[in-house]
Amino acid sequence: MRRKNNKIGIIGFPMDLGADRRGVDMGPSAIRYANLEKKLESLGYKVTDFGDIDVEIMETQKARNSKLKYLPEIVRTSKVLAKKVESILNRKYFPLIIGGDHATAIGSIAGISAYCKKNKKTLGVIWIDAHADMNTPETTPSGNIHGMPLAVSLGLGEQKLVKMGGFAPKVKIENVALIGIRDVDYLESKTIKKLRPQIYTMTDVDKFGMPHIVSKVLNDFKERVDFLHISFDLDGIDPDYVQGVGTPVPGGLTYRESQLLMEMISDSGMMSSLEMLEVNPILDVKNRTAELATELIASALGKNTLFE
């Protein structure tokens, strides 16, 4: 990886309010336990762990809105996360956000986008996930906000989330690429067809191969993006490799496809921030999903077969 800087700032977002299934709030601890800091230091980085954002647990709250469960606490903590991410970017750290459910991306992208706006940079996002996460309160079948973060970042949905930081959208649709998608809700699919993002389902991965897809995305982004954020939901990978995720979907990315994806992103030198989300230790076996998460992080940050 052609490094933009040598300092990594880790931020944990231990939240599981965005989903019905509990446990991903322990994801940051599981990833840290899998020797994350040591692996990054072995690659020559200076690592600072800024700890976890404080998030109230589900038992202290009520899901008052069935279409936007736990909205007040998700809004509050997302604002804190956004400010923290923007702050460490201002201090020239590479932000590494570990979660937590994918609603984490609402705050992380809000903070990154605010930084980009003030520094006249164009944000691009690669969204690696089994799900498109483009639901809104009008389309969601569950009311779970972890199914909405990409829509929110694109300026769609609940205004308390959309207008976080005082502006929207956080990223333009032409600067978003989704990879590994294979589980989309019916009404959500109508939104996707209307907006027409650059989206690569698992059928596309099977047909064209990961190298072709990643090369196309990176070449497209190279022309118009100067800050690239990677948002990686571990359920983008096939459940055979990641048992510790809350919403597994068969037929996902293989171990090698996932590693190749991250290695190619690393080789491009374009990545400016990264989040690794949805590790659920309750469902995991011997912390293997968190171990894979740290391997993927290391690959994105320059680890390869010959050199470390």
Helix, coil or strand: residue 48: strand
235 included as an active-site residue: yes
Fold type of domain 7-300: Arginase; Chain A (3.40.800)
Residue tagged active-site, from 101, 188, 278, 291: 278
The rounded radius of gyration (Å) of the Cα atoms in the chain is 17
Residue tagged active-site, from 16, 86, 101, 146: 146
Please state, in angstroms and rounded to a whole number, the distance separating the CA atoms of residues 62 and 55: 14
Please tell me the pTM assigned to this model: 0.97
Residue tagged active-site, from 16, 86, 101, 131: 131
233 included as an active-site residue: yes
pLDDT at 196: 96
Which residue ranges in the chain fall short of pLDDT 50?
A: 1, 308
> Which candidate, 87, 85, 115, 116, places its Cα nearest to that of 11?
85
Bond before 248 cis per omega within 30 degrees: no
* Structure confidence by residue, pLDDT tens digits, 35-85: 999 999 999 999 999 999 999 999 999 888 999 999 999 999 999 999 999
131 included as an active-site residue: yes
Helix, coil or strand: residue 237: strand
pLDDT at 64: 87
pLDDT at 63: 86
Residue tagged active-site, from 235, 257, 263, 284: 235
Quote the tokens at residue 276: 């690794």
Residue tagged active-site, from 16, 52, 101, 102: 102
> Which CB contacts under 8 angstroms, 24+ apart, belong to 36-43?
36/10, 36/98, 36/294, 36/297, 37/10, 39/294, 39/297, 39/298, 39/303, 40/8, 40/297, 40/298, 40/301, 42/308, 43/298, 43/301, 43/302, 43/303, 43/308
* Structure confidence by residue, pLDDT tens digits, 91-126: 999 999 999 999 999 999 999 999 999 999 999 999
133 included as an active-site residue: yes
